[in-house]
Structure 1
Amino acid sequence: MKLRFLGKNSTPGDSPTLYASDQDSYVIQGWKIYSNELLMQLDLPEGETAIEVPTELFEHLMKDGLQSGLVKKFTAPIMIVTEQGTCVLQGPEMNDPEALSQMHMPDYETCIEVPKSSITALLEEDRGPDHPGPA
């Protein structure tokens, strides 16, 4: 799998990063979840993991041709929004050796792969059943 770097939100020692893949997916690198309080709120099937990233990371989606990177719906793969303004995402843990070789990942981070459609759906207004989107 080939990755294309879209951007990162870095502070010293932290580096949540967003990539577009050649597999119609996004690879999202974020902080591993160690908090039992957060982990107990998740139902993690085998092969999936959870990461935490700042919501601003999605602003880099504009570099993939999207009009906005503003998250408007907090639904799966976003599972939790924290009081600190970060979000917890859940998805299949990335294990592709070619993709991992293209990344710099500290021990306290990991990454997930999520279909592009799941991420782009987060950017759409939730119009509700009484307000369907354009046909």
Structure 2
Amino acid sequence: MRLRFLGKNSTPGDSPTLYASDRDSYVVQGWRVYAQDLLVQLEVPEGHSVVEVPTELFEHLVKDGGPIGGIRVFTDPIMLVTEQGTCIVQGPQMCDAEALSQMRMPDYETCVEVPKSAIMALLEENGGSDHQRPAR
């Protein structure tokens, strides 16, 4: 799988990153979720993983033809929005050696692959659920 870098939201030591793949999907790199209070709210199928990323990470979708702005609805593959305003994203854990070789990922991060159509649906005004992003 070949990846195309779309963008990242970085602070020293943290690097949630968004990539477009050549498989009509996005690879979302983020912080591994270990918090039991979050994990108990999810049903994580075998082979899937959960990452936490800032909602602003998805603003980089404009570089792949997405509309200017951020997420408008919060539904699958975004499973939760935390009180801190970050997104919990679930999807198949990335195991593709070629893709992983193109990434720099600290031990406390992992990545998931999600269909492009699922992410783009989150940008549509009338799509998905009516959850609103919490105020900061």
Q: Which TM-score bucket, shorter chain as reference?
A: over 0.9
Indicate whether 1:67 and 2:91 are aligned.
no
TM-score, normalising length: structure 1:
0.92
Distance 1:11 1:127 in 2: 32
Q: Secondary structure at the match of 2:90?
A: strand
Report sequence identity in percent. Answer: 72
Q: Secondary structure at the match of 1:14?
A: coil
Q: Secondary structure at the match of 1:123?
A: coil
Distance 2:99 2:78 in 1: 22
Distance 1:58 1:28 in 2: 9
2:123 matched residue in structure 1: 123
Distance 1:35 1:25 in 2: 27
Moved more, 30-39 or 67-76: 67-76
Q: Is the 8 A contact 1:68 1:123 kept in 2?
A: no
Q: Is the 8 A contact 1:92 1:114 kept in 2?
A: yes
- In structure 1, what residue type is equivalent to 2:61? L
Please say which structure displays the higher CA radius of gyration.
Answer: 1
Distance 2:121 2:88 in 1: 16
2:31 matched residue in structure 1: 31
- In structure 2, what residue type is equivalent to 1:58? F
Q: Secondary structure at the match of 2:23?
A: coil
Structure 1's consecutive aligned runs of 4 or more residues displaced over 4 angstroms after TM superposition are: none
Q: Secondary structure at the match of 2:70?
A: coil
1:132 matched residue in structure 2: none
Deviations 1:19-67 (A, max 9, x none): 0000000000000001000010010010001000000000000011222
**Residue segments in structure 1 that go unaligned for 5+ positions in a row:** 129-135
Distance 2:84 2:41 in 1: 17
1:43 matched residue in structure 2: 43
Pairwise CA distance, 1:126: 2.4
